Amino acid sequence: MLKNTYRGLILLLIVIACTAASSCGISSSRQNAVTFSGTSVSSSADGVTVDGSTATITKSGSYELTGSASDARLVINTQELGDIFLYIENLDLTCTSDAPIEIKNAENVYLITSDGDKSSVTDSRPLGEYDADSAIYGKCDISFQGEGELTVTSNNTGIHSTDDVKIKAGTLIVKAGEHGIKGKDKVKIDGGSVTVDAVKDGIKSTKTDKSGEGVVTIDGGKVSVVCGDDGISGANEVRLRGGEITIDTKNNGVKATYSIECSNSVTVDITTADKGLNSPKITGDGTAKVTVNGDSVDVR
């Protein structure tokens, strides 16, 4: 009787462990490899189709992106509900004719880097007008996670989602000939290290016609922006509620149509030839440390 009880407990623990791994998208990540090489791509994953230099993910699940390509791309186009986890490992992906990573249809996409890894995604198209106008472009929420480093380079916009861009952890470096990071509905940074070098706006949200959107929120992490236009721009609001933020710009440091909030001991250091904080309503709890061109600004 006791032996059977132990066996039952062991089987139960195995089932729980397997279920947890599957729900986190871990178990299949190594099996569903998408490998880039030169101007080609290969994959034997059930949810991937390959056409020349383009791999298209058609099913939700977990996939590993690896290899080096001088002209290839990844497209995500799923018709089913479900999340897609992209585990990025030793990836150097460049495309000369289109967005290197384009999400045409999906529910949520997570880009996950592993600790110690350095990967890159490069849009080498000339500056111009494109439907998919960035190195990483998506029509869904895009989240950046993990503990590795990802460099995104583009002559156009670096990262653009027509929904939300969320940054949870890791090191994200964006170099852009247009805007750095653009989330139409929202941009939310919770942690990690984010560095943006952009010719125009650094970090922005653009949606103006819906309450609660058109917002940039920074709750933690280290954020550094060097740009030629607005450092952080919210079509409706900017909420700076934690972390360390450094902005060097020729235009506004932080700009919002309705309000800017600086609270929860956030540190904001702005160097600008224009206004540091530009909004009709600027609020805080008195704990934020805000400086503009070396002068302290009391935000309450």
| Cβ neighbours, 10 Å, residue 244 | 16
pLDDT of residue 118: 98
- Residues 166 and 143: beta-carbon distance below 8 Å: yes
- Structural domain contains residue 62: no
DSSP structural state of residue 109: E
Task: Looking at the structure, tell me whether residues 132 and 248 fall in a common domain.
Answer: yes
> Based on the structure, what is the number of domains in the chain?
2
* Same-domain check for residues 120 and 225: yes
Residue 71 domain-assigned?
no
* pTM of this structure: 0.90
Regarding whether 104 and 12 lie in a shared domain, the answer is no
Per-block mean pLDDT, blocks of 10 residues, the chain (300 long): 43 41 40 94 96 97 97 96 95 98 97 97 97 98 98 98 98 98 98 98 94 94 98 98 98 97 98 97 97 96
Pair (254, 117) in one structural domain? yes
Task: Note whether residue 33 is domain-resident.
Answer: no
In a domain, 236, yes or no: yes
Residue 31 is predicted with a pLDDT of 65
Do 150 and 254 lie in one domain? The reply is: yes
Same domain, yes or no: 136 and 281: yes
Reading the block at residue 273, the tokens are: 């030839």
For residues 164 and 236, state if they share a domain: yes
CA distances from 138 to 74, 110, 135 (A): 12, 11, 10
Please tell me the distance from the alpha carbon of residue 120 to that of residue 95, in angstroms, as a whole number.
Answer: 12
The answer to whether position 151 is within a domain reads: yes
Containing structural domain, residue 7: 1-27
Overall size of the chain counted in residues: 300
116 burial via Cβ count (<10 Å: 0-12, 13-18, 19+):
exposed
